Amino acid sequence: MPSPFSALWRRLGRRGAALALALLAAALLFTLSRYAAVSSDLPSPSPTYGHRLPTLVDLTLVYDRDALCLDGTPPGYHFLPGFGQGSHSWILHLEGGSWCRNFKSCARRKKTNLGSSAHMDSRVEFVGILSDDESQNPDFYNWNKVRIRYCDGASFSGTVQDEVKNGTGFFFRGQRIWEAVMADLLSKGLSRAKQAFLTGCSAGGLSTYIHCDDFRALLPKTPMVKCLADGGFFLDVEDISGRRYMRAFYNDVAWLQDVRKKFPRCSSDMEPGQCFFPQEVAKSITTPMFILNPAYDVWQVEHVLSPEGSDPQNLWRNCRMDITKCSTKQLEILQGFRKALLDAINEFKNRRGWGMFIDSCFIHCQSMKAITWHSPSAARINNKTAAEAVGDWFFDRREVKEIDCEYPCNPTCYNVALDEPYKQD
């Protein structure tokens, strides 16, 4: 039986059929163009709470014969130019990633992106405080943004001039990396900044405490210069076995990379590692500083409070990875850890121009994650996200000294549950 389309074809003839097909194609094209026009007005699909996909930013290497990563390769950064009203404002972010305390751990490290630019990604996503999406980063989205890669193992503070260990290739030159990267950025417009903001996360947060006043000194003509340390207030406290594990760790870092030179004001009767803690570094900072820290920092719970060597029976394993699995006794110890943090930052609470946001979450580094910086799932204190609190403080819209109540009081907290422990070199 012939199809209705073949019958239609015979009735129309070849010319008529060709005309009909042309009209059909035109109608289809019109329909598709209308759909495309409508679709272009819709938000792009994104896994990050309705925000568009993050911008990818290329790696720039800095060639300076004295500024070298652990393995001797050049350091680098990622730079995203600002636009509109933010074109003369700069935000620099110092990357984190723990430290290496001896040749063995530094040898492992220099085979990774944390010790060699040869292992760094050529492009990275800019999210959180570095995002150029206004909905994700309302106060700083259109600024010039720089992510400075971390490859020296000592929070940009090592001062050893010669190659170490008989020519086998260890370079401890974090201070020189800082200077070379800053010189490069100053030549690219940072020197003309009207506003500048130095930030850092984790070991990069410690770097921000260390270099905050250095940053201010580089920009004598810039009216507003401030600093933010995220998840970088590491505590000099006893662990669950009564040892000061983190002080011993920092002692090793300080001796290995001759870090003591960075802290001439540190008391001579103190161990070198003590000078490396933010509580000591911050005492001499004169530039306005913002302390962004969780009271139950998941990295510190694992490596400062309950390091593996202090827990031979592994009783803290579940608690270290998920705060909801902590016992009543462990929670009591965590509340004591929170109190130690509040005691340590108390002397900075009343400093003029300083700000803080201490939430009761089980997390580490909140400015570099879209979900914790400014999203529907971000923690709030007094109905403000970390992004809103930092923006209010930076632009002097209000005084920000936010300290949350004890866990588990804050239902807005985003608490991580780890599949495996954080690594410590």
Active-site positions?
202, 297, 364
How many angstroms separate the CA atoms of 96 and 397, rounded? Answer: 29
Which residues share a beta bridge with 56? 125
H or E element at residue 227: strand 224-230
* Packed helices 174-187 and 203-218: angle between N→C axes, nearest 10 degrees: 50
How many angstroms separate the CA atoms of 105 and 99, rounded? Answer: 9
Q: Classify the C-alpha dihedral 58-61-67-73 as positive or negative.
A: positive
Cα-to-chain-centroid distance, residue 211: 16
Nearest to 187 by CA among 59, 286, 58, 60: 60
Determine the 3-state secondary structure of 148 from DSSP: strand
Backbone region of residue 128 per phi and psi (left: phi > 0; alpha: psi in -120 to 50; beta: other values): left
Which residues share a beta bridge with 230? 201, 292
Residues 277, 236 contacting (CB under 8 angstroms): yes
How many angstroms separate the CA atoms of 152 and 174, rounded? Answer: 5
